[in-house]
Chains A and B, each alone.
Chain A
Amino acid sequence: MAAGVLSGVRQVFRGPRLVSAVFSCHGQTLSSASAAVKSAPDTAATEKILNFPLTQPDYFHLSELFTMKDLFEARVHLGHKKGCRHRLMGPYLFGSRLDIDIIDLEQTAEHLQRALNFTAHVAYRGGIILFVSRRRQFSQLIETTARECGEYAHTRYWKGGLLTNAPIQYSPGVRLPDLIVFFSTLNNVFQQHVGIRDAAKMNIPTVGIVDSNCNPSLIAYPVPGNDDTPVAMEMYCRLFKMTINRAKDKRRQMELLKGISASV
């Protein structure tokens, strides 16, 4: 799991253009020229802060945030009818009862754990996270969640070249998100959201809640689960908010400790 996270995070920092970020030290360690600028113990401490969490399987203790019973009570296991099923969602389904697809919560729990762990590591390293959903019923909820954890949300119409044509549509040095979280991977006409394909083109990793009628193939960390019930969406929003806040608090704490040990 740590190896998977490592490769994901390295991919993140090669793709988008970094202008100025608070924790852009990792970008500098990749190019060895500027390493000599910093004093030796400072770089070593920074590297330790950045690399040590990647060696632990659950550094942020995210397994205590949810249990399978919580997922069950939030109706995460309920899928659409059998006729709406996407063929690639077959492996994630427990079965079908009276034509209703039931999503296997044991697999969902593992996938959710992986997705939250990746989100936490991205937030720890100061990455920009973008929440995307085209469900108008939950757009208010997702926007408030993004505001509360200090990240960004895009729950409106997705303009064509938002990611692929960003330097022209915005400004030449714009920074793209380092992680895109899809709370629903379909748009309002039941087609796959354009953002999934564009994020894959721009080497931006994606986390997505895939229901039984969605295509999970282009998403880096799919989480099979219900995306139509308000209880389930509130639970996902709460989990992602807690993960991101936990990771950011941990980073602030480590920076403080580094500051204290450097001054001593």
Chain B
Amino acid sequence: MATLCKVMYNVSSRSSLLPKHCVFTTLRSLCSSDASGGDGKSAERVKSGFAAAYEQHSDLRQSGDRSSGDETSFASLLRRSALTQMGPAKDKIVVGKIFHIVNDDLYVDFGGKFHCVCKRPSADGQKYQRGSRVRLRLEDVEMTSRFLGASVDTTLLEADATLLGLIESKTKE
């Protein structure tokens, strides 16, 4: 409120030629009218400059608080989810985490419904342990196919991806 009055004083002192006591009275009346008009309901005069910007930003902040309530609806959660934003899975680069290892098979979870199984690469083979983060190129989120004579698809309960490499995790400050 004090800053608002200060700015208004600068604006009016540059533009108007009124004597000082009149400037102070107009300042006080301007500040009081802005305090009530800042709610955006009773302002009669067209605001310009800082006043207009302040009003616009306070309205935006209020509307931002209101729309955060809608974020929890399933439709909006789905729309903003990474899987939807990614689009078709073909040739997309994702980051996965190894959660199980059987000899040379690495089971990687990248955030989809299924995991993918990749062969341990020959380069830097021992660095791939449980919990390592790796880069993958996705082919398919779920490997399914309709065979002749079947009424439903047969699913392999796995995703299909190629291993690109480890993510070198250095301590970032």
> Residues on A close to B: CB < 8 A?
67-69, 72, 75, 77-81, 83-86, 94, 97-98, 100, 102, 104-106, 190, 213, 226, 228-230
Known A68-B77, A72-B74; judge A80-B144 contact (CB<8 A). Answer: yes
**Quick check: A100 and B142 within 8 Å, CB to CB?**
yes
Q: Which residues on B sit within 8 Å (CB–CB) of A213?
A: 152, 155
Q: How far is the CB of B96 from chain A (nearest CB, A)?
A: 14
Q: B153 within 8 Å of A by Cβ?
A: yes
Residues in A neighbouring B84, C-beta threshold 8 A: 97
Q: A81-B142, A213-B152, A228-B114 are in contact. Are A72 and B77 (CB under 8 A)?
A: yes
Residues of the A chain whose Cβ atoms lie less than 8 Å from the Cβ of B114: 228-229
Are B72 and A78 interface neighbours, CB within 8 A?
no
How many Å lie between the Cα of A85 and that of B144 in the bound state? Answer: 12
Is there contact, CB below 8 Å, between A68 and B74? yes
User: When chains A and B are docked, how far (Å) is the Cα of A76 from the Cα of B141?
Assistant: 16
Q: Are B146 and A83 in contact (CB under 8 A)?
A: yes
Chain A residues whose CB sits within 8 angstroms of the CB of B83 once the complex forms: 78
Cβ of B72 and Cβ of A69 under 8 Å apart? yes
User: Who on chain B is nearest to A109 by CB?
Assistant: B74
Asked if B153 and A83 make an inter-chain contact with CB atoms under 8 angstroms apart, the answer reads yes
* Assembly CA distance A228 to B109 (angstroms): 12
Cross-chain contact of B74 among A79, A94, A100, A226 (Cβ < 8 A)? A94
**What would 6 A/B residue contacts be, using CB atoms closer than 8 Å?**
A67-B72, A72-B77, A78-B112, A81-B142, A83-B146, A100-B142
- Measured CB to CB, the nearest residue on chain B to A213 is B152
Q: How far is the CB of B56 from chain A (nearest CB, A)?
A: 31
Chain B contact-residue range equals 20 to 34
Q: Is the CB of A83 within 8 A of B144?
A: yes
A68 CA to B75 CA, complexed, in Å: 11
Instruction: Given A228-B113, A228-B114, answer yes or no on A81-B74 (Cβ-Cβ < 8 Å).
Output: no
CA distance A79 to B77 in the complex (A): 16
Cβ-defined contact, A84 with B77, below 8 A: no
Is the Cβ of B72 less than 8 Å from the Cβ of A81?
no
Contact flags B93-116 to A (C-beta < 8 A → 1, else 0):
000000100000000010111100
* A81/B153 in contact, CB under 8 A: yes
Q: Which residue of B lies closest to A85 (CB)?
A: B152
| Known contacts A84-B152, A228-B157: A75-B74 contact under CB 8 Å | no
Q: What 13 additional pairs, Cβ within 8 angstroms, besides A78-B112, A83-B152, A213-B152? A: A69-B72, A69-B77, A75-B112, A79-B113, A80-B144, A80-B155, A83-B144, A83-B146, A97-B84, A100-B142, A190-B155, A228-B157, A229-B114
The 7 closest A-B pairs by CB, nearest first: A83-B153, A78-B113, A105-B74, A81-B144, A84-B153, A72-B77, A106-B74
Chain A residues, Cβ within 8 Å of B72: 67-69
B88 interface contact, C-beta 8 A = yes
B78 at the A interface (CB under 8 A): yes
